[in-house]
Amino acid sequence: MTKPIIEVKNLAKSFGKNEVLKDITEQVDSGQVIVVIGPSGGGKSTFLRCLNLLETPTSGEVDFDGENLTTLDTKRVNELREEMGMVFQGFNLFPNMTVLENIKLAPMKVKGINDAAATKRAHELLKQVNLDDHADAFPSSLSGGQAQRVAIARALAMDPKVMLFDEPTSALDPEMVGEVLNVMQELANQGMTMVVVTHEMGFAKSVADRVWFMADGYIQENNTPEAFFDNPQTERAQDFLSKILM
Amino acid sequence: MKKRLVLFFALVLALVTGFTTMTATTANAATDTSLSKVQKKGTLVMGTSPDYPPYEFQATVHGKTKIVGMDVAVGEKIAKDMGVKLVVKSMSFDSLLVALQTGKVDMVISGMNPTPARRKNVDFTHTYYQGGYSIVINKSDKGIYKNKDSFVNKTIGAQTGSTMYNESKKQTSGTTVKGMTSVSDLILALQSHKIQGVAMEKPSAQAYVANNKELAAIPSDFNLSASDTSASVAFKKGSTALVTAANKSVDQIKKQNLVNKTYLPAAGKYLKTNTVNTSMFHYWKAFLTGIEYTLIITVCSVFFGFIIGVILALARMGQGGAVKTGLRWLATAYVEFIRGTPMMVQVMFVYFGLGLIVNLPALTSGIIAISLNSGAYVAEYIRGGINSVDDGQTEAARSLGMSSGLSMRYVILPQALKNIWPSLGNEFITLIKDSSIVSIIGVSELIFQSNIVRSDTYRGVAPIAVIMVLYFILTFTASRILNYFERRMQHD
């Protein structure tokens, strides 16, 4: 068995007196697609943000590729973040740059790749998300679905080993959800390791290798999608599924 | 909070006392070397307030503005006898003695009376000229006013900080005394009937009356001691060697009656050529210089102010660590202090206060002071601008592996800049106007130049109207340029 790419050990996170994550120990293997589901306010986003240290854990550790992020200096954390792409609910494209510039910025400034090579790579990625004809558009002129696909291309431009998705379709109009999920599915088919926080149960069923059910600051259940959806083990999960699958 | 305030005031007091003691020590130390120092550097710097014809005033000589007058002739004689070159520095009358004490100038010749109060702070030579006081009035009022006692329930004007001002206050009753910095302003006030008379020295009064048919001079009948009507050269306290050397020249001047025989007629000639052409176009070069300096000061101050502002804003937003907390505290204190004190005081403090440590030219001091001032305001704009950028932008940048510095530079600051561009533009335009404050330390920007033209031409309003239009052209052009860039930054 290969070494896991992400290992989380006794992770806890509080905001003031509010304990959002209580005690989480899980691992993600290379090539796996993990879908994290659960009720709102259960700590899913916070958990995901702890994986690339956008939130600093209160206690516990997060190991990425064998290195404990919580003990590293800022410089090394920055380097490791290059290997973990992240896609946000609100896209967070840079509004002052064109689509192409959004994608090229980090490869050029962080990796020092020259303009020609970065441009070539950006066009490849835009083709991959079917948006190459929008390369010179500004983010404000894009639809939500288009913006999120650009955001995915931007994260992929750093050639990450893992992609983290924080509710990537929650801010989209229903008819645009499909185009984003298709891109994500393709990415999974190519063997990308992914951790996806989402409410898209269809996506979880068809793409996930494992489903993590998260509520009240704990991973309540860790199972294959089939087992989880057909035969949830915990009462908390049964309750959650009964409410959403009506 | 109160305790802190007390501490703060104690600190300010300590600073001020510190500077004063420093002045005193440097003065004492200079006792014996004062003359050799001047001879070593080869120049004798004379401070004067050139709005007091025929003592000192600006004249156009071969197309160039120059400070001339009998005091300049006296200064030239003293410098020549010492074997050094005379350099004339102009500034407001109020600033002269401070400039002397802080070593900005070596001597002051500005029709200054060696009063006992002034003697406490500076050393005077023998008197080189014995004058008297007159009161200048409007010719139409000639029958009404006889002398200083005719102004009951009226207003007399005098140059602030001058002997006339103090004596007018002391020796009249029922008369309001109005102080203004420049004599040309006083004359203007007189002609627009804001005041009924202007007390000034006899030669000046004669010059004004000779050049303006609307004016007349009456005797003042002030009861004055010799020291109040005589003019002397002032040196820094304790520079005995310089005073002794200068006294030799002054004694010669007195003995040969040089002032009345040579200096005053020469000064009168300048006055004559001066009033031939008082059209504003004739002075276009003076205004051009004013625009040039105003722009230099503004552009430099905006540039450095912006850099200072960015640094301060980042320091104010620093989180965690003892060093960062310290920096944040310092930056906050700086911003509060600068915003809480008048820019004029800051300009004077940089010029005269820093002058104790390093001798900075007036222009440099002005730019430093205004940059430091502007930096505090710009810092607040930038801080607001950075806060206005969505946190998600930082998170997106950081998630791509960009360091906080890179994120700030390429993602946050460009967006912040766009958001605060109107405020920054406002600051730029304010600076164009506020740069006029450095006129008090003698930088030849627009206001300063207009004052020169006013005292030069005896025309009060026209130069003000000219610079008003010039300022508007500058600010309007600037705001058009800023709008152009604002439009270019719009992507949505």
Q: What are phi and psi for residue A63, nearest 5 degrees?
A: -100, 130
Contact across the interface for B396 and A158, Cβ inside 8 Å: no
pLDDT at B491: 62
Contact across the interface for B415 and A74, Cβ inside 8 Å: no
> Longest Cα pair distance anywhere in chain B, in angstroms?
88
Q: In this complex, is the C-beta atom of A113 within 8 Å of any C-beta atom belonging to chain B?
A: no
Q: In this complex, is the C-beta atom of A96 within 8 Å of any C-beta atom belonging to chain B?
A: yes
Contact across the interface for B403 and A79, Cβ inside 8 Å: no
Angle, nearest 10°, between helix axes B284-317 and B446-457? 150
For residues B258-264, average pLDDT: 85
- Got the DSSP string for B380-406? HHHHHHHHHS-HHHHHHHHHTT--HHH
Q: In this complex, is the C-beta atom of A218 within 8 Å of any C-beta atom belonging to chain B?
A: no
pLDDT at B264: 81
Contact across the interface for A155 and B397, Cβ inside 8 Å: no
At B64, the pLDDT band (50, 70, 90 cuts) reads confident
Q: Is residue B376 a contact partner of residue B346, using CB atoms and an 8 Å limit?
A: no
Which residue's structure tokens are 């063997």? A191
Decide: helix, strand or coil at residue A1. coil
The ipTM is 0.92
- Got the DSSP string for A57-121? -SEEEEEETTEEGGGS-HHHHHHHHTTEEEE-TT----TTS-HHHHHHHHHHHHS---HHHHHHH
Peptide bond into B361 cis (omega under 30): no
- Residue B196: CB partners within 8 Å, gap ≥ 6? B137, B138, B141, B145, B151, B154, B155, B156, B190
- A81 vs B401, B410, B491: nearest CB: B401
Residues, chain B, total?
Answer: 492
pLDDT tens digits along B296-343: 999 999 999 999 999 999 999 887 788 888 999 999 999 999 999 999
- Locate A143 and state its tokens: 């639809």
pTM for this predicted structure:
0.69
pLDDT at B192: 82
Q: What is the distance between the alpha carbons of residues A231 and A238, in angstroms, rounded to a whole number?
A: 8
pLDDT at A105: 96
Angle, nearest 10°, between helix axes B362-388 and B284-317? 40
Q: What is the distance between the alpha carbons of residues B157 and B365, in angstroms, rounded to a whole number?
A: 32
* SS3 annotation, A177-241: HHHHHHHHHHHHHCCCEEEEECCCHHHHHHHCCEEEEEECCEEEEEECHHHHHHCCCCHHHHHHH
pLDDT tens digits along B421-458: 999 999 999 999 989 998 888 888 898 888 878 776 76
- Locate B154 and state its tokens: 């009226």
At B3, the pLDDT band (50, 70, 90 cuts) reads very low
What stretch of H or E contains B48? strand B43-48
Q: Is the pLDDT of residue B387 over 70?
A: yes
Compute the radius of gyration of chain B from its Cα atoms: 26
pLDDT at B276: 55
Q: In this complex, is the C-beta atom of B399 within 8 Å of any C-beta atom belonging to chain A?
A: yes
pLDDT at B193: 85
For residues B230-237, average pLDDT: 92
Decide: helix, strand or coil at residue B110. coil
At B209, the pLDDT band (50, 70, 90 cuts) reads confident
Percent of chain B whose pLDDT exceeds 70: 91
> Which of A51, A94, A141 would best serve as a mutation to test chain B binding (most B beta carbons within 10 A)?
A94
Query: Which of B21 and B437 is assigned the larger pLDDT?
Result: B437
Percent of chain B whose pLDDT exceeds 90: 40
Position B166, amino acid = N
The Cα-based distances of B133 to B84, B128, B190 in angstroms read 34, 16, 17
pLDDT at B45: 94
At B150, the pLDDT band (50, 70, 90 cuts) reads confident
Nearest residue to B187 (alpha-carbon basis) of B171, B169, B209: B209
For residues B351-376, average pLDDT: 88
Which residues of chain B neighbour A151 with C-beta distances below 8 Å? 396
pLDDT tens digits along A108-167: 999 999 999 999 999 999 999 999 999 999 999 999 999 999 999 999 999 999 999 999
Contact across the interface for A78 and B403, Cβ inside 8 Å: yes
pLDDT tens digits along A68-122: 999 999 899 999 999 999 999 999 999 999 999 999 999 999 999 999 999 999 9
Q: Please state, rounded to an integer, the average pLDDT across all residues of chain B.
A: 85
Which residues of chain A neighbour B491 with C-beta distances below 8 Å? 95-96, 138, 140
pLDDT tens digits along B79-127: 999 999 999 998 888 889 888 988 889 999 998 988 888 999 999 999 9
Q: Is the pLDDT of residue A245 over 90?
A: no
pLDDT at B146: 87
Q: Is residue A69 a contact partner of residue A77, using CB atoms and an 8 Å limit?
A: yes
Decide: helix, strand or coil at residue B56. strand
Q: In this complex, is the C-beta atom of A54 within 8 Å of any C-beta atom belonging to chain B?
A: yes
For residues B146-164, average pLDDT: 87
Position B75, amino acid = G
**Alpha helices for B212-282 (secondary structure H):** 226-229, 240-255, 258, 264-276
pLDDT at B28: 46
The Cα-based distances of A141 to A100, A136, B143, B410, B440 in angstroms read 14, 10, 81, 21, 53
Residue B171's Cβ-count burial label (10 Å; 0-12, 13-18, 19+) is middle
